[in-house]
Amino acid sequence: MGWQWCHIHLPPTPPSGFCCRSHSGASLRSWFCTVTVLQSSSLLPSCSVRTPPVFPVPIPSAPSPPQCSQRPIPSQHSITSPPQPPSQPSFSLPLLPASHPCIPNAHPPSPPIGFYVAVVLERWWGQFRSVPAPDGLMLAVGCGVHGADARGRILRRTLMRYGSLAALLVLRAVSTAVYKRFPTTDHLVEAGFLTREERRRLDALRSPYNKFWVPCVWFGALAGQARREGRVRDDCTLKLLMEELNRFRANCSLLFHYDWISVPLVYTQVVTIAVYAFFATCLIGRQFLDPAQGYAGHELDLGLPVFTLLQFFFYVGWLKVAEQLINPFGEDDDDFETNTLIDRNFQVSMLAVDELYGDVPTLERDRYWDSASPRAPYTAATAAQLRLPNFRGSAFDVTLAKEEMQFQPLEDIGETSEPPPHPPMATFSCHFSLLRHKNSAGCEGGHGAEPPPGAPTEGDGDSLGGDTAVLLGSVTGESPHSWDLRPTDEMV
């Protein structure tokens, strides 16, 4: 059988027959003993040792190599044993029920996997928000770079092409689907994102790092040239262009760094091993006992581990969700549609700075030109929402008594020495300060500071004191005492 525990009552000093040593040279009242007792045919119960310093003494089920000379336990050290449990068949490994006091309850790996999923989800959302979108940049270019001639048109289109090229170089580095679409710079030239001259300059630049920042440099230089040519009419517009470019470049850089700095691999391994090791242990440790053996408290045998299956579905499903979200730039169905984003951004940006440049619809009076309170119509499916009350604020429906709504002169409030009139009973307890309870003298025993003139003295009211009774809501109607609610010198 496995390890057992027993009650051994030891005296303050070590008796003969025990191998003892002093603890750090202290007195014999703080000693530790190694007790070796041969287990008899009866089982020893589960308990602990009681000594002047209480400590447990484990007793093995089989004789172990002696650490000191083995002698019988003296008679004055009694071993108490409660009624013995029914005999159990011997096993090769000791198996104890989950409710045994020597075995703690098994806890599922909820904290580590929960924190891991939270980190992965936050990272997934951050990558989604860092995907570069050219909307702000194209609006700044379309409104800031002027000229309806061929020169103005080529400036605007080239500026937006540089922005799309920077985003494409980043997405090509982090997304497998984009890299398969544009594996080399020759494909970028053929697709129209690069010219041959620009490709030659890009390849001639000796840098071992990603070159997504090069189109941003070209953008800035071309914007400065447009300012010198008068296409950008003032420095404020040039500043707006550079701010939008920096925001666009920051998203490209952040997306690249998300791909560079990933979740630590050891954390992923620890969480995965913890989840699968937990359920591998549950597969053995949560097996039901044989009811034919007649174990006490185990008469019912369930064939389907319902709660273990639920834990398996929840935790393993949680882990699978994290595995799907940890890299959203793959080719799975749940990953980001990066190629679709490239097509949309390139087409929209070119339309905004070229086809829609200076294209303003004819101005007309709107439908509600003569209406002082315009309101859009409702369909039959949404007409019921028109009858709903409008929300005007959480405190808008607070009601006050008429006398409470009167303004008081500040001079009278600061100079009067009379207590304020008692409010109505409904709001009586709302106007008393807890600081007033500090100076109350109505408590039993006469504790507290000296009561002010007119305050209740000992014997007035109940044992809680007048102030406490009012604060607890036990006083109804008018108070029989005169209350001084002004701050005292001690409070100030």
The reply to whether 25 and 111 lie within a common domain is no
pLDDT at 365: 94
The reply to whether 13 and 142 lie within a common domain is no
In a domain, 223, yes or no: yes
pLDDT at 439: 42
The reply to whether 126 and 248 lie within a common domain is yes
In a domain, 440, yes or no: yes
The reply to whether 73 and 112 lie within a common domain is no
64, HSE (Cβ side, Cα atoms, 13 Å): 11
pLDDT at 112: 84
pLDDT at 415: 60
What DSSP line would sit under 208-269, residue for residue?
SS--TTHHHHHHHHHHHHHHHHTSS-SHHHHHHHHHHHHHHHHHHHHHHHHHHS---HHHHH
Based on the structure, what is the number of domains in the chain? 3
pLDDT at 408: 85
Sign of CA dihedral 138, 144, 146, 150: negative
In a domain, 476, yes or no: no
pLDDT at 424: 52
Question: b/e for 185-210, b at 16 or more Cβ within 10 A?
Answer: beebbeeebbeeebbeebeeeeeeeb
Tell me the CA distances in angstroms from 350 to 134, 226, 247, one per residue in order.
10, 18, 19
- Res 425 pLDDT > 60: no
pLDDT at 182: 96
- Give the residue numbers spanning the domain of 225: 106-289+303-358
pLDDT for 137-191, tens place per residue? Answer: 999 999 999 999 999 999 999 999 999 999 999 999 999 999 999 999 999 999 9
The reply to whether 278 and 198 lie within a common domain is yes
In a domain, 467, yes or no: yes
The reply to whether 228 and 353 lie within a common domain is yes
The reply to whether 72 and 132 lie within a common domain is no
> Which residue, among 471, 463, 467, has the nearest Cα to 484 in the 3D structure?
467
What is d(CA 87, CA 2) in angstroms, rounded to the nearest whole number?
14
Mean predicted confidence (pLDDT) in 50-61: 43
The reply to whether 74 and 119 lie within a common domain is no
Domain endpoint, select from 31, 65, 81: 81
**Sequence-distant (≥ 6) Cβ neighbours of residue 484 within 8 angstroms:** 419, 452, 453, 454, 455
On average, the pLDDT of the chain sits at: 73
pLDDT at 194: 95
In a domain, 11, yes or no: yes
Q: What is the pTM of this model?
A: 0.59
Tell me the CA distances in angstroms from 308 to 99, 156, 287, one per residue in order.
17, 63, 11
Q: Contact at 8 Å (CB) between 59 and 39?
A: yes
237 band by pLDDT with thresholds 50, 70 and 90: very high
pLDDT for 271-310, tens place per residue? Answer: 999 999 998 888 888 777 777 777 777 666 667 778 888 9
Backbone angle region of 393, left / alpha / beta, with phi > 0 → left and psi within -120 to 50 → alpha: left
The reply to whether 73 and 115 lie within a common domain is no
The reply to whether 343 and 441 lie within a common domain is no
